[in-house]
Each structure stands twice: as structure tokens, then as C-alpha cells.
Amino acid sequence: MNLIPQSNVAGNGYCEMVQINSSPSTQIPPEAKEFLISEHSSLREEILSSIKGIEEAQRNALVFSGAVWAWFSTQHWDLKLFPALFLPLIITIAYWFKHIELSRSIRNIADYITNIESELALPRFGWEHYAKGHAHFRNWNRVYWILLTILNLALGLYAWRSA
């Protein structure tokens, strides 16, 4: 029986100790457990960094699109501006691809962390096990990118037709 620190969900800065009961079939040497625990921590940090990257991509796509449309609204329409009408759409799609790659990286790391949690005989514990059944954030992200893409496409087509 081993004890490892587990972050408190309440976020009050305290850690609680969680008991690890390794089954006899998967006895892990203490050095390996220490390595897995430290690896788990560094991978969680990498996931948090990727989540920040996703949030930045969402914010930047919205801000850049808004800035370009605000600039367009102050310009006198000329034929030379027509190719630039779809610049917000291109920016949005580029950031969407960045979001997709960061999400793919997060999923790969999360799958590996799930394996670590299983190896430490925590089959019902650990965030990655819990998060497998809760995909609402993923669904919101899809809706966000689809709406922003449609909006930029519609504004580009509207501006093109009305010019």
C-alpha cells in the first residue's frame, strides 16, 4: 500500500493522500511509480499549456476577424479590396487548424495519462478517467469554430455581393 498526494478538488491549496492498491499482477517497482507520478505531473502541465493555446487561438481568431471587419467598414469599396474580403475567413480557418492540432495533442497525452492512472491501480480515480464521459467542452469548441467560420464566410459574401 502506497500513498500519493492528490490535488484537492475544492482548490483550497491542500493535498489529500490517496491510497494506491497495486494488484499483485501489476506490481510496479517504487522507482517506476515515482517516475510515473512525476511524468503524470509534467504531462498535466503540458495539457494546461495546450489548453491555454486553444483559448488564445479562439480569442485571436475572434479579435483579428473583428479588427479586419471593423477596418473594412471604414473603407471605400474598391476592386482591389475584394480578395481581402475573405481574409477573416482564412484567419479563422488557420486558427481552427491550430486548435485541432492542440486538441489532438491533448487527447494523446490524456490517453497516456489514463494508462498511467491504470498502472497505478487508480481505475476509478483520476481526471482522465472521469473526463472520458464528459465531452461538453469539446462540443462547445466545435460550435464556436463553426459559427465563427460561417459568420466570416457570410460577411465576406455579403460584402462582395453588395459592393
Measured from the Cβ of residue 3, the count of other Cβ atoms closer than 10 Å reads 10
pLDDT greater than 80 at residue 14: no
The DSSP symbol for 107 reads H
pTM given for the model: 0.71
As to burial, measured by CB atoms within 10 angstroms (0-12 exposed, 13-18 middle, 19+ buried), residue 122 is buried
Render pLDDT for 73-85 as a digit per residue (tens, 0 to 9). Answer: 888 777 677 788 8
Reported as half-sphere exposure (CB side, CA atoms, 13 A), residue 5 has a value of 7
Contact between residue 91 and residue 153 where contact means Cβ atoms under 8 Å apart? no
Contact partners, residue 30, CB within 8 Å, separation at least 6: 2
Q: What is the pLDDT of residue 6?
A: 44
Cα torsion through 60, 64, 67, 72, rounded to 10: -160
- Tell me the range of 16-20, 111-115, 134-138 where mean pLDDT is highest: 111-115
- Beta strand 15-20 with 2-7: parallel, antiparallel or unpaired? antiparallel
Distance between CA atoms of residues 2 and 112, nearest Å: 22
Of 81 and 88, more confident: 88
Task: Give the residue from 115, 117, 64 showing the smallest Cα distance to 93.
Answer: 64
Q: What is the pLDDT of residue 21?
A: 46
